Each structure stands twice: as structure tokens, then as C-alpha cells.
């Protein structure tokens, strides 16, 4: 209340309504060590209703994390740890960035899957070395959002019994009393998903909350605890109303709340007795020490498993992890074979399968189309440990769940869908990027060339959208060699997600020099050098690289020297030093054409005012792929004509 008042903005209602729940949960239930927020076997806690960030910051502060009272005073200020919504990486104890409602809940499902799979893999008789729970608080908003329906459904089917969701059932969202827009029986809905539901818990009765939290531990299903609370509890005029949701209460109401709650201390003044009662540091250190001792004994009793678990926790890739993948790139370079790049990707996965056990794959019900399943993959189910998740038709939950898997540690997730349905998952792609997590996004059927499924399925603006996302690395490889290099980059990358954009249709395998081959990893490189004087440069990606090469050959026959640059990753190319970029795209050559069967907007920074883009700035059409491409001008002949045009203009 005081922090929001000081900031003159923020959300006091949910933190005040959840304070009683928070007290019981943080002091008595959560397994954590404030001195080491990274302790691996800690419980994971997610505040899915991220607008209630002041609840989390208060709990972190009181229980002894490195969140000081000054940090609390600087709520929502520039460069403070206590951002408006909890930001992963900026504040100790924040396990994931939340704010877009519902996504934290899906992250929590990912955490719970990660914990169970690690436990299944590494625990031995008498050695429960992986044994923690995932707790998530949600509000009405999270449970209205479709993503929570997707994720709850999968969590129920998978029987994630160590996942507990506390529902802040206060009957209020921004527009007022939710009855008028959110009236279903949430408990019945969750029971139908296969959850255990604990109803009618008075969220302001600590004993009732404690009982419910204890009961949740005993279930063989995920549990939803429905806590009835009063938003803005204690603020006499605003409690129980939407006025308490998202604005400072005002000085008068704050002092009245002090009186109602019988709290006589000044803002930010907390009596020592309270600090003493709340301090979780000694108990947390003791818990971590006990776990460290268990791990020491485990290392003696099960040395091989322990080495592997230590490696997984540290996030170190296994020695030689990429040998087979790199060999695949090499053999594709030496013996080019035309292939759909989605199938090239499958070969990459076959080369990785088994060698990188932290890889956990999946698809949103398009496994056979996305080619995401490798030989030897095992289904992850309620009953059995596995490394392949059938996410069902749930792109958004899949992406947010894989964010949770990556955040938990011990896993490198990848998952597939059609490029067009990335849009269903879009905000989770954005949060993966914001949080810089290693999440690999496989997007197949990457252009109008997918053909007959037509404009609903044909991506246009999606590549431009991915490329505009900060911290996201996007690759659109042209053949197997480039695909293998892209997979290598995606797995080696520790500081962000990677989108792999792949074709449905066969692409022509390119022949390239050794220099070109080793330069693939630089994101853009000279694939075909010009014959004679350099008159123009054609830049292309993916399936359009073959068109560019074909056009360059025709133009060479007419004595026009054209260089073909393959640019599978714009962001990786832009990260190269200036000298390298200049060697590929000399500034002096302004006759440039980019070719990509997608929106043209990515390319003007490369072709400039004197260049041109062969792309598609309209929706596609239902027709066989080659006809759709021809109708939209993505052909060798059109590239030739456009290059001639820019060459002519340059020499005029």
C-alpha cells in the first residue's frame, strides 16, 4: 500500500487481498533459501497475476532476500529491482516475468514437468535429490485467459501432482464485479481437467489457508485452491471494489487503512520483531545444507547419475554434443541432396538425439509435419518419463510451458508448429525473448509455397515480426548444411530463444566453397561470387536462395556480374564486425535485390533506396505451391527482371 502510494501508481488491491495467504505460504510452506535464490531443489513460485508484484517484493524483502527496504521504496522507478511487474533476471526470487495474464500459470506447468522428469530420471532409492513443488498464484484474469485453459487441461492429463495453484478469488477485475463476464464454476472446470479442487477457503483465515496448502501436498493430481479474498483488504472505502485494483489508494484512504488494520507504524517502518519472525534465511540455509549433504552421498552411491545431474544443473552441454550434427553439416556440404528443410531439421534431431539428453521436444499436434520427433524419442506421459511432449493443439500454452522448462533449468526445450500459428503463441515468444531463455521454436511451412492450404496457412508478415523481436535469433536456412548450422547455433546459444523457420517443400541443396561453408555460422555470406565485375548483389533466404542462384546464372550469361548472398540469419549477420559485413555487402554496390517469399519490410535496411525487394506484401492464395509462388512473382524470371532494373538505374 505504501510502496504504491509512494510510486503514485501500481496495484495495491491484490497484494492487500493476498497478504494473509502470502504470510502463511511464505513462512510455513515454501521451500526456499533467501541467501541462494538459485538453489536447485527450491520450490518454484510463480505470481501469475504479475500486477500483484508488490506482494512478491514484500515477501522477498521480509523473508530475507537481497531486496532491501530502499528497493521497496523505489518500486517502479528507473533501474530498480522492483519493476512494475516482476522481471526475471532483475530481482532475486523472481522465477519468471509475469504481467501478461495467464502465462505465468503456463510457465508453472513447465516448471512442474521439468521437476517430475528430472526426478524420474535421477532419483534413486533413498536419494530424492530432485524433490520440489511448483506453486502458482493466479487471479480471475489468469483464469479467464485462454492460455490457462490450455495449460490446465494438459497439466491435468499429465497428472502433475506437485503443481499447486492458489486462486485469488476476489470476484473483481478492472471493469468491476466479474459475475457479469466470468460466471462459470471454475472448480468444476478444473475437476473436469483432472485436478483436485479445494473450495471455499477463507483467504483471510490463516488456519484455513494452512490446512488447504497441507491438503494440496497429499494429492496425486494437480491442485487448485480457491481462496475467497477481499481485494484491497483493510482499505475501508475501496476494499472489495475495482477501485482498489490498479491505482494508489490516496493518502486519506491509506491512513484509514492503517487504522482499520491496527498498524501504527510509519510507511516503510517495520518493527524488528516482525523481521525476526519472517526471516527465512537460517531455515533456508539449513534446508540447502541438508540437500547438499544428500547430494554428496548421492555422488558416492551413484557417481555416474550424479555427474550427469550436476552437469544438467550447471547447464553445461555434454562433451562432443555437436559432433554428429557438425558431421551432418559437413556431409551435406560434400554430397548435396535436395530436401525439405523441415526434413533436414529432422536429420539434425536424429544426429542430436540421445547425445543431448537435456533436449525435450514436442509439437502442437503437428509432429509428422514439423518433423520434430527424432529416432528414439520417448513419449512423456502421466505414467512414463520421456523426452517428447505431445502438447495437443495448444500453441500458446506449449510456448509458455517450454519457457517454464527452460527457466527451471536442466532442459533445453524445443517445440514445433506451423509458422503461421506462431501468432497464437506470439506473446510467449515475446516473453522468451524478454527473459532471454534458451527456447528453440521450430516453425515449418514457412511461405505461400506451402500451397493448397491457402492464405489462412500461408505466412506473410511473420518473419518480419520475428526479426523485429529483440533478443530473438531467427534462422531461415536454405538447405541441410545451413539447417545443421542453425541447429548448432540454437543449442549453443545461452542467452536467448531461436526460431528455426523451415520449408514444407523441397529446396535445392547448394554447392558452396569451403569458405562459404564455414561462414554460414556468420548469418550471411557470399554463396555465389560474381563472375567478372560486381554489378549487383542478390540477398536471399531459405527456399528463395535457389531462385537467386538461378537468376545470377542467367544474368552472368548476359555478362552481368551478380553476387548471391545467402542470409539465413539477419540478426546473426548484423552482429558480425563491420569488416566482415563490408566484405559480404560492400557499401559501394548499391544495386541490390533481396528475395524472400514474405513481407518485404525486413529488407530495406539492406537494399536501401536504390535497391528492390522481391517479396509478398499481400495475403497468399490457395493453389499448388509453385503456382502460388509464380502468381505472386517469386520466380527466377522476376528476380532477373528486377535485378536488371536496379542495374540499369545504377548505371543511368
Ligand X SMILES: Cc1ncc(C[n+]2csc(CCOP(=O)(O)OP(=O)(O)O)c2C)c(N)n1
Tell me which residue of 172, 164, 174, 222 sits closest to 21, measured CA to CA.
Answer: 164
**Could you say which residues in the range 35-54 bind ligand X, by CB under 6 A?**
49, 51
Phi, psi values for residue 416, rounded to 5°: -125, 150
Between CA 421 and CA 361, with CA 98 as vertex, the angle to 5 degrees is 45
Among Mg ion, ligand X, none, what binds residue 99 when CB lies within 5 to 8 Å by partner kind? ligand X
Give the shortest CB-53-to-ligand X separation in angstroms: 11
Q: Does 231 sit near ligand X (CB under 6 A)?
A: yes
Residue number with the smallest Cβ distance to Mg ion: 140
Closer Cβ to ligand X, 201 or 597, answer by number: 201
642 binds Mg ion (CB under 5 A): no
Task: Give the catalytic positions in this structure.
Answer: 395
**Please, what is the minimum distance in Å from the beta carbon of residue 128 to ligand X?**
35
- Pick what 473 binds: Mg ion, ligand X, none; C-beta below 5 to 8 Å, kind-dependent: none
Task: Return the ∠ at Cα 87 (arms to 26 and 495), rounded to 5°.
Answer: 120
Give the nearer residue to Mg ion in terms of CB position, either 125 or 179. Answer: 179
CA 396 to chain centre: 10
C-alpha cell at 433: 525473448
Residues 139-158 that bind ligand X (CB under 6 A): 139-142, 145
Q: How far is the CB of 403 from ligand X (least distance, A)?
A: 15
224 lines the binding site for ligand X (CB under 6 A) = no
Q: Which is nearer to ligand X, 165 or 380 (CB)?
A: 165
Cα 428 to Cα 394: distance, rounded to the nearest angstrom: 12
Q: Does 172 bind Mg ion (CB under 5 A)?
A: yes
Strand order through the sheet with 388-390? 388-390, 359-363, 412-418, 440-444, 498-501, 473-475
DSSP code at position 305 = H
Shortest approach of Mg ion to residue 234 CB, angstroms?
17
Contact 449, 121 (CB under 8 A): no
Asked whether position 238 contacts ligand X by CB under 6 A, the answer is no
Phi, psi for 394 (deg, rounded to 5): -145, 70
Q: How far is the CB of 609 from ligand X (least distance, A)?
A: 40
Q: How many residues does the chain have?
A: 652
Position among 115, 140, 253, 482 found at the interface with Mg ion (CB under 5 A) = 140
Q: Residue 389 CB, nearest distance to Mg ion (Å)?
A: 31
Is 170 a binding residue for Mg ion by CB under 5 A? The answer is: yes
Cα(364)–Cα(97) distance, rounded to whole angstroms?
23
- Residue 641 site contact among ligand X, Mg ion, none (CB < 5 to 8 Å, cut-off depends on kind): none
14 in contact with ligand X (CB under 6 A): yes
139/451 with CB nearer ligand X: 139
Q: Which stretch binds Mg ion (CB under 5 A): 87-95, 135-143, 274-282, 567-575?
A: 135-143
For 537, the grid coordinates are 548483389
Q: Provide, rounded to whole angstroms, the least separation between the CB of residue 248 and ligand X.
A: 15
Sorted by sequence, the CB contacts under 8 Å of residue 371 that are 6+ apart come out as: 340, 342, 343, 345, 346, 349, 416, 444
Does 358 help bind Mg ion (rule: CB under 5 A)? Answer: no
100 forms part of the interface with ligand X (CB under 6 A): yes
Site string for ligand X, 159-178 (x = CB under 6 A): -----------x-xxx----
Partner that binds at residue 404, options ligand X, Mg ion, none, CB closer than 5 to 8 Å by kind: none
524: its cell numbers: 550471411
SS3 538: strand
Of 45 and 233, the one with the shorter C-beta distance to ligand X is 233
Site string for ligand X, 184-223 (x = CB under 6 A): ----------------------------------------
Q: Is 234 in the site for ligand X (CB under 6 A)?
A: no
How far is the CA of 79 from the CAs of 83, 91, 150, 434, in angstroms? 8, 11, 35, 16
DSSP 25: I
Three-state DSSP string of 191-260: HHHCCEEEEEEECCCHHHHHHHHHHHCCCCCCEEEEEECCCCCCCCCCCCCHHHCCCCCCHHHHHHHHHH
Q: Of the two residues 101 and 152, which places its CB atom closer to ligand X in the complex?
A: 101
User: Beta strand 223-228 with 473-475: parallel, antiparallel or unpaired?
Assistant: unpaired
Report the distance separating Cα 536 and Cα 639, nearest Å.
Answer: 12
Residue 358 contact, options ligand X, Mg ion, none, Cβ 5-8 Å cut-off depending on partner type:
none
Distance, in Å, from the CA atom of 327 to the CA atom of 345, rounded to the nearest integer, reads: 14
Count residues near ligand X (CB under 6 A): 18
416 binds, among Mg ion, ligand X, none (CB under 5 to 8 A by kind): none
Q: Per CB under 6 A, does 86 bind ligand X?
A: no
Residues within the interface to ligand X (CB under 6 A)? 13-14, 49, 51, 99-101, 139-142, 145, 170, 172-174, 231, 245
Residues within the interface to Mg ion (CB under 5 A)? 139-140, 170, 172-173
Amino acid at each position: 500500500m505504501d510502496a504504491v502510494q509512494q510510486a503514485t501508481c501500481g496495484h495495491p488491491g491484490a497484494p492487500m487481498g493476498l497478504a494473509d495467504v502470502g504470510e502463511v505460504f511464505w513462512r510455513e510452506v515454501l521451500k526456499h533459501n533467501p541467501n541462494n535464490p538459485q538453489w536447485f531443489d527450491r520450490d518454484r513460485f510463480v505470481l501469475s497475476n504479475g500486477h500483484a508484484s508488490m506482494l512478491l517484493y514484500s515477501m522477498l524483502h521480509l523473508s530475507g532476500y537481497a531486496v532491501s527496504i530502499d528497493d521497496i521504496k523505489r518500486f517502479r522507478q528507473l533501474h530498480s529491482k522492483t519493476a512494475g511487474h516482476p522481471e526475471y533476471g532483475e530481482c532475486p526470487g523472481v522465477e519468471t516475468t509475469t504481467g501478461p495474464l495467464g502465462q505465468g500459470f503456463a510457465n508453472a506447468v513447465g516448471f512442474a514437468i521439468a521437476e517430475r522428469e528430472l526426478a524420474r530420471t535421477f532419483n534413486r532409492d533413498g536419494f530424492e535429490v530432485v524433490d520440489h513443488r511448483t506453486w502458482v498464484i493466479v487471479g480471475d484474469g489468469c483464469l479467464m485467459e485462454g492460455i490457462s485453459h490450455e495449460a490446465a487441461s494438459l497439466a491435468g492429463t499429465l497428472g502433475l501432482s506437485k503443481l499447486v495453484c492458489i486462486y485469488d478469488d476476489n470476484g473483481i477485475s478492472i471493469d468491476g464485479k466479474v459475475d457479469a463476464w466470468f460466471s462459470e464454476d471454475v472448480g468444476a472446470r478444473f475437476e473436469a481437467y483432472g485436478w483436485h479442487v479445494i473450495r471455499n477457503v477463507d483467504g483471510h483465515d490463516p488456519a484455513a489457508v494452512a490446512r488447504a496448502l497441507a491438503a494440496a501436498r497429499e494429492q496425486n493430481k494437480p491442485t487448485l485452491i480457491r481462496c475467497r479474498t477481499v481485494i484491497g483488504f483493510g482499505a475501508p472505502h475501496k476494499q472489495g471494489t475495482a477501485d482498489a485494483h490498479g491505482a494508489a489508494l490516496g493518502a486519506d484512504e491509506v491512513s484509514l487503512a492503517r487504522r482499520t488494520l491496527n498498524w501504527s507504524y510509519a510507511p516503510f517502518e517495520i518493527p524488528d520483531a516482525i523481521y525476526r519472525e519472517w526471516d527465512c534465511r537460517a531455515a533456508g540455509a539449513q534446508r540447502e545444507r541438508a540437500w547438499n549433504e544428500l547430494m554428496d552421498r548421492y555422488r558416492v552411491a551413484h557417481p555416474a547419475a550424479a555427474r550427469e545431474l550436476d552437469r544438467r544443473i550447471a547447464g553445461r552441454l555434454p562433451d562432443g554434443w555437436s559432433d554428429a550434427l557438425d558431421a551432418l553439416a559437413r556431409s551435406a556440404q560434400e554430397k548435396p541432396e535436395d530436401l525439405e528443410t523441415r526434413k533436414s531439421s529432422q536429420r539434425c534431431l536424429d544426429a542430436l538425439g540421445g547425445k543431448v539428453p537435456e533436449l525435450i521436444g514436442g509439437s502442437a499436434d503437428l509432429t509428422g509435419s514439423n518433423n520434430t520427433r527424432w529416432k528414439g524419442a520417448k513419449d512423456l506421459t502421466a505414467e512414463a518419463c520421456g523426452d517428447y511432449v505431445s502438447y495437443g493443439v495448444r500453441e500458446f500454452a506449449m510456448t509458455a510451458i517450454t519457457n517454464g522448462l527452460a527457466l527451471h533449468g536442466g532442459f533445453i526445450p524445443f517445440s514445433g508448429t506451423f509458422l503461421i500459428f506462431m501468432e497464437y503463441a506470439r506473446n510467449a515468444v515475446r516473453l522468451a525473448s524478454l527473459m532471454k531463455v534458451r527456447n528453440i521454436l521450430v516453425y515449418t511451412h514457412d511461405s505461400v509455397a506451402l500451397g493448397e492450404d491457402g492464405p489462412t496457412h500461408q505466412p506473410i508478415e511473420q518473419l518480419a515480426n520475428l526479426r523485429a523481436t529483440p533478443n530473438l535469433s531467427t534462422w531461415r536456412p536454405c538447405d541441410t548444411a545451413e539447417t545443421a548450422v542453425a541447429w548448432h547455433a540454437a543449442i549453443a546459444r545461452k542467452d536467448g530463444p531461436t526460431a528455426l523457420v523451415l520449408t514444407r517443400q523441397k529446396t535445392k541443396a547448394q554447392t558452396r566453397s569451403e569458405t562459404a561453408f564455414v561462414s554460414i555460422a556468420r548469418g550471411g555470406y557470399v554463396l555465389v561470387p560474381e563472375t567478372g565485375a560486381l554489378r549487383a548483389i542478390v540477398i536471399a533466404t531459405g527456399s528463395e536462395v535457389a531462385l537467386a542462384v538461378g537468376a545470377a546464372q542467367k544474368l552472368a550469361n548476359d555478362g552481368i556480374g551478380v553476387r548471391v548472398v545467402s542470409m539465413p540469419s539477419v540478426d546473426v549477420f548484423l552482429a558480425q564486425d563491420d569488416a566482415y559485413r563490408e566484405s559480404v555487402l560492400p557499401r559501394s554496390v548499391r544495386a541490390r535485390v533481396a528475395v524472400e517469399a514474405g513481407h518485404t519490410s525486413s529488407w530495406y535496411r539492406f537494399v536501401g533506396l536504390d535497391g528492390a525487394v522481391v517479396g509478398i506484401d499481400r495475403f497468399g492464395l490457395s493453389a499448388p505451391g509453385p503456382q502460388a509462388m509464380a502468381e505472386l512473382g517469386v520466380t527466377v524470371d522476376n528476380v532477373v527482371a528486377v535485378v536488371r532494373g536496379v542495374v540499369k538505374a545504377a548505371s543511368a
